[in-house]
Amino acid sequence: MLALRRGLPVLLAGLALGWGSAEAEAQAGATPGPVQVITLASARINSLSVTIAAGSVQSIPSLTDNAVNDFPTPVTIQTQWDVNPGQVNSISLVAYFTTPSQALAGGTVQIPSSRVLGRMTTGLPTTYTPFTQAALAGVGTAGGSLVLFSDNIIGTNKGILTRTDNLALQLNLAGFPDLPVGTYSGTLNIRAVAQ
């Protein structure tokens, strides 16, 4: 009750200022809407990091045209966070290529991200899915991304937590023009984002 009494003058002052502002604009002849108070808050995190525990170098030694080519081993990704439910709604993991039209670049022919497929059986793309999704919360690139998981932060997964997932990758060359001889290389970026 004491706190309420101390806060009342502040609330009154704020309300008075808001009303005063609305009245001033009305006198100027405009037709103002109600005063909007927008509170901007950043998702507060203590820590959020992504580590490639295994498979950071993926290689297909001999591509086969017009077929699905598996990268031999999965990428093991560890996502660690330390957040609280009241400050963060969710943690998402996004994998993306910087330039969707050139996910793997060769000499004269490029392999687009739509031909790279990812599967995370413990996440969202439980079947092989192309990297053609939009960016998420500013992370990723339009048409070159794949959201791997999105966890709502609740009481059970707050605090310091590490999640480990395996991302399997494929190149789908079915229906793609035969590739010229050469080496095709690219970088898959993986990033977590708190919202």
Partner 1 sequence: MHGFLTRAVCAAALFALAALPVAQAQSNPSNVASVSLTATKKENLSLSGVTASASLVSASGIADSSTANDFTPISVTTNWNLKTSTSVTLVGYFADPANALVNGANAITSAQVEGKLSTDPVGSYAAFTGPAVGTAGVAGATHSFWNQAVSGATLKSNRTDVLNLRLNMTNAYAVAGDYTGTLNLRAIAQ
Q: Using CB under 8 A as the criterion, which residues of the chain lie in contact with partner 1 when the complex forms?
A: 4, 8, 11-12, 14-15, 18, 34, 36-45, 48-52, 55-63, 65, 69, 71, 75, 77, 79, 88-89, 103-104, 106, 111, 116, 137-139, 169, 171, 178-195
| Closest residue by Cα to residue 161 from 95, 82, 76 | 82
Q: How far is the CB of 70 from partner 1 (least distance, A)?
A: 11
Q: How far is the CB of 30 from partner 1 (least distance, A)?
A: 20
- Which amino acid type is present at position 39? T
Backbone torsions φ then ψ of 182, nearest 5 degrees: 155, -175
Handedness of CA 163, 73, 145, 138 (dihedral sign): positive
Rank residues 28 and 88 by Cβ distance to partner 1 and give the closer one: 88
Report the alpha-carbon distance of residue 45 to residue 88 in Å, rounded.
7
Q: How far is the CB of 46 from partner 1 (least distance, A)?
A: 11
Rank residues 24 and 35 by Cβ distance to partner 1 and give the closer one: 35
Helix (H/G/I), strand (E/B), else coil: 92: strand
Rank residues 18 and 24 by Cβ distance to partner 1 and give the closer one: 18
Is the distance from CB of 143 to CB of 100 less than 8 angstroms?
A: yes
